[in-house]
Every structure is written in C-alpha cells, then in structure tokens.
Amino acid sequence: MSALGDVVCTLPAASALKARFPDCHVTWAVDPRFAGIVEACSAVDEVVRVKPGLRTIPSWPMPFDAAFDLQGLLKSAICVGRAKAPEKLGYHWQREAAWAFSARVLPDPTSFHVVDQYVDVVRAFRPDENPLASDVAEFALTPQDGPLETVREKLAAIGVSGRFVVMNAGAGWVTKRWPPAHFAAVCRSLGQDGVPVVFLGGKGDQAAVAEVLDGLPPGTAFDLAGQTNIPELVGLVSLAAAHLGGDTGSTHLAAALGIPAIGLYSITRPQRSCPYGQIERCHYDPAGLGNILPEPVTETLREVLR
C-alpha cells in the first residue's frame, strides 16, 4: 500500500498460497495507484482498492482462514486487524505498532531476498499442510491484452520497432538515482549497436529523463516517462529486450515478467533487493552510485542482448 516495487515483490506470496491451496480465494487490499499490478496476477481472485486512512480502510464482512500483513505499517496492519480471521501473520519488520495486529514471522535463514521473506510468511500458515514443492518464487504476472496493444501503438508513434531496451532514470530517493550522464553514455553505446532505448517512469521522473536525453543523437533514446498507466507499464516492460535501472519499481517489474534486468545499487544490498533471480546482472558500489561507470554496465547489457 505504499510503493509499486513492494507490490510486485509481494506477488509470489499469493502464488505460494495458490500452489499450497489451489481452491483458496485470495483477496488483496492495495493502494488504488498500484491495483493494475495485482489485477495482472493470476494468483489473486479479488482486488480491493484501499485508499490509506482510518476512514477508508474497510471492515471486512466475510470471514477469512488467514490474514497476512506483508508490509508491516499501520495502514496495512489495520487492514489485517479488521479482518475476521483465526490466524493473522506478519512480515518480520513490523513498524508503527504493526506487531499489535499480527504475529511476527521470522524468515528462514536461507531467505536473503525480500521476495523469499514474504513467501516465508505464507509458509508459516499451517506449515505442515501442503508444503511448497519449489523454493523458486513465482510472480504469475501477465500483461493484459488491451494495455499491451496500446503500448505497441505508442511505440509505433515514436518510431520504435524491433528490439529495444527500457531504462528508468528515476527512483523514489535521489540517492538511488544513477547520474544522467552515465545513462546517456550507455544510450550512445547502444545507439551505435542499433538498439534504441525507451525511458519509462512516472511524471516525477520526467526531469531526470530530459537531462539524459539532452544532447543525445536523434533516434538514440525516446521518452515515455509519465505517459503510461500501470497496466501499460506492465505491457511496455514485457516487450523490452532488457531493463536498466536502480532499486526502483520497474526493475522489480522486469524481473517479475522474466525480462533481463540490470540493477544498479549503492545504499541497498543487492542480496536483499536485486531483481529477483538476477543478482549476477547487478552492479554495486557501497560508496555511491556515481562510482558505477557506464562501460561495465553497457557490457552487461550487450551480453544480455547477445
């Protein structure tokens, strides 16, 4: 109920419930801004849009077998607290008194990635009943036909056809943003290879994208930041040959869709928050993102494209 990346990384919890209990009905409460992500997940049966606030969080009329708080904030905790369920389990990092509404589930010692830690919470429900057959998380995310066609039309309108790479020059925190000049350098290199770049993101990322595009040769990179809704964003990423970005929502989205994702990390540890299953494609420097140079990042992209 706070960020796109958090929603994406939590999808495997729903998939794990469906794998363990195929006939179960999964109801998901989500911030309306990110409902399009959950609606594209085949493991979720019902999506309830919840605008965070004491007056807007619902009192659930139906009983549940279990309720899970995978965010650990007061707004998510109240959703769980108002549910009629004999078991209420929560992600281990419980803040803002979330501990008062659900039982804390410690992750398995082998679960380094946040995705696996979320799945551990639903593993704790009836742990001896129908254990998961695989330790690999499944996102069950598929782009919807209508938004996918709209994205194809938008790409055609800007002159992009064939293979392309999507990049995200923005992030929720300034400290998670790679320098625009570094993005521009990678764009130039890919342009020499004949691979165009399409920038995505929200309206808040448009200034960062404009700084990257300034001075680039025509036809090298294109701007769709702020021009796609969430279902269209899913479609756009699904069509790309690769994704480049920092620790931000679209990086996790690419991994969820099975798209090669090159992650750039500094203040967050890749072991916990890299694009799931793709840590070998990450570039990390704890001293600062600016120390990650364009050349090795470009080579990683070229390896993926080859």
| 145-305 and 4-123 share a CATH fold | yes
Q: Are strands 103-105 and 87-91 parallel, antiparallel or unpaired?
A: parallel
List all residues 6 or more positions away from 239 whose beta carbon is below 8 Å from its beta carbon. Answer: 148, 151, 152, 155, 164
Q: Which backbone phi and psi does 30 adopt, to 5 degrees? A: -145, 150
The stretch 199-228 carries a mean pLDDT of: 91
Domain boundaries, the chain: 4-123, 145-305
pLDDT in the model for residue 134? 85
Architecture of the domain defined by 145-305: 3-Layer(aba) Sandwich (3.40)
List all residues 6 or more positions away from 170 whose beta carbon is below 8 Å from its beta carbon. Answer: 177, 201, 202, 204, 205, 208, 209, 225, 248
What superfamily does domain 4-123 belong to in CATH? Glycogen Phosphorylase B; (3.40.50.2000)
Which of 42-46, 236-240, 255-259, 285-289 bottoms out in mean pLDDT, i.e. has the lowest? 285-289
List all residues 6 or more positions away from 246 whose beta carbon is below 8 Å from its beta carbon. Answer: 168, 171, 176, 177, 178, 263, 264, 265, 289
Reported as a single tens digit per residue, the pLDDT across 53-64 is: 767 788 888 899
Map residue 141 onto helix, strand or coil. Answer: strand
Positions of E strands within 102-241 = 103-105, 165-168, 197-199, 221-223
Place of tokens 């001293």: 287
